[in-house]
Structure 1
């Protein structure tokens, strides 16, 4: 479904992503782990067109989408739940969800169906549907960010640090939601610093360090890898 070929992304003279290649097959959960500043978020932004690719290619369903504008990639079935949630604080929960379906805004039945689907998935959002997003807790905002991304009915969902800044019980809820999405057949590319949880839910995984892929394998293989244990799991 997604193939990245030797992608490089730069900020001026700084090369943040240095020739990364990876793939995500339909129905998989693929995880990218790595330290802060490794280039994980930059890589996701290049996939959805929010950062320009200096070299290499982004292929969606085998088609070169490297230079396709970001809003048109939504139409190709790709959606991003960004790092830091990025909810619109002065808009209500319902309005944030409606913005997630902006590309289909003229199809009122599609939008209404999506809102009810996400309220069923995240009941707390239904309880707070008329509340401004900026007044929600961190966990509720993260649920809203994921639900908003799902409003376009993507086939590939990119999740950027969904556990960031959340309490352990809320992190469990978020990963339970990821498992449910996986069981529905949705393809997911997950960037996450909570390595144990992320690898536990992943079919395959990559380790990104200073803009380069240094390890790849199944989630279980990386969980058992001594280097990963030492660097990311706090064990030797």
Structure 2
């Protein structure tokens, strides 16, 4: 079982401490949420793990191998996939070519292997029927499926999802939750940060709540929901799952 671990992360901007001694971990086949109020530091934590922001202090490791110095593309080669909040499909490429563009970066694969992997991903994420559709023509739910399929083209051990439920309708949210569970069942570790607290907690085995740059609570959805401090600073007393 692989473990992606962030240990004692800290980050300051212009002498303002945004993240203070944050530690968390994601294991293979586990869905983990990283949640908190706006300005709490959760996005900075997430970006430090992805490699978009350099930590001032702390370490990021995969199975105790230190990947902290590596840029984002270096971490991708070590097994960290990333799905940004913003649309990341190539608008003027077909679904097929969007996925193939990623597969072609895997120089160790032969052409026949790339083609086989492409067909596997198109079938796995139920997007074969739109394989020739252009990126600009996709619905929000279709786009998310294509983006996740592209991320899986690199066969990551972990995938980090930034606001996966943003900009999609309720039916698509349900669809994306099903896909995330599918990733977990494949043995992939999933880290989610999203403002959609209810749907995120619904699918997480474990969650961390960040407030004031600190982890103030961690545990199962039920444990998070029952935490009085979390209610006071984040969920409120009227929140229901």
TM-score normalised by structure 2 residue count:
0.87
| Cα distance change of structure 1 residues 152 and 91 upon mapping to structure 2, 3 Å threshold | same
Matched position secondary structure for 2:21: strand
Cα distance, 1:191 vs. partner? Answer: 1.3
Distance 1:85 1:10 in 2: 28
Cα distance, 1:216 vs. partner? Answer: 0.7
Equivalent in the alignment of 2:32: 30
Cα distance, 1:88 vs. partner? Answer: 2.0
8 A contact 2:90–2:98 mirrored in 1: yes
Cα distance, 1:13 vs. partner? Answer: 4.7
Cα distance, 1:36 vs. partner? Answer: 3.4
Matched position secondary structure for 1:104: coil
Aligned runs of 1:1-236 on 2, under 5 Å? Answer: 1-105=3-107, 107=109, 108-123=111-126, 125-228=127-230, 231-232=234-235, 234-235=238-239
Distance 1:92 1:44 in 2: 30
Distance 1:3 1:87 in 2: 29
Distance 2:231 2:112 in 1: 48
Cα distance, 1:104 vs. partner? Answer: 0.7
Which 10-residue stretch deviates more, 171-180 or 29-38? 29-38
CA deviations 1:25-73 (Å, max 9, x no partner) are 2221111112334333332322232221221111111111100132221
Distance 1:55 1:7 in 2: 6
8 A contact 1:196–1:223 mirrored in 2: no
Cα distance, 1:163 vs. partner? Answer: 0.3
Where does the alignment leave 5 or more consecutive residues of structure 2 unmatched? none
Cα distance, 1:12 vs. partner? Answer: 4.7
TM-score normalised by structure 1 residue count:
0.88
| Cα distance change of structure 1 residues 102 and 5 upon mapping to structure 2, 3 Å threshold | farther
8 A contact 1:33–1:208 mirrored in 2: yes
CA deviations 1:62-111 (Å, max 9, x no partner) are 11110013222122111101112322222221222123335414512442
8 A contact 1:104–1:110 mirrored in 2: no
Cα distance, 1:169 vs. partner? Answer: 0.8
8 A contact 2:103–2:153 mirrored in 1: yes
Matched position secondary structure for 1:154: coil
8 A contact 1:41–1:83 mirrored in 2: no
Cα distance, 1:9 vs. partner? Answer: 3.2
Alignment RMSD (CA, Å): 2.2
Distance 1:14 1:86 in 2: 31
Distance 1:204 1:95 in 2: 36
Where does the alignment leave 5 or more consecutive residues of structure 1 unmatched? none
8 A contact 1:100–1:150 mirrored in 2: no
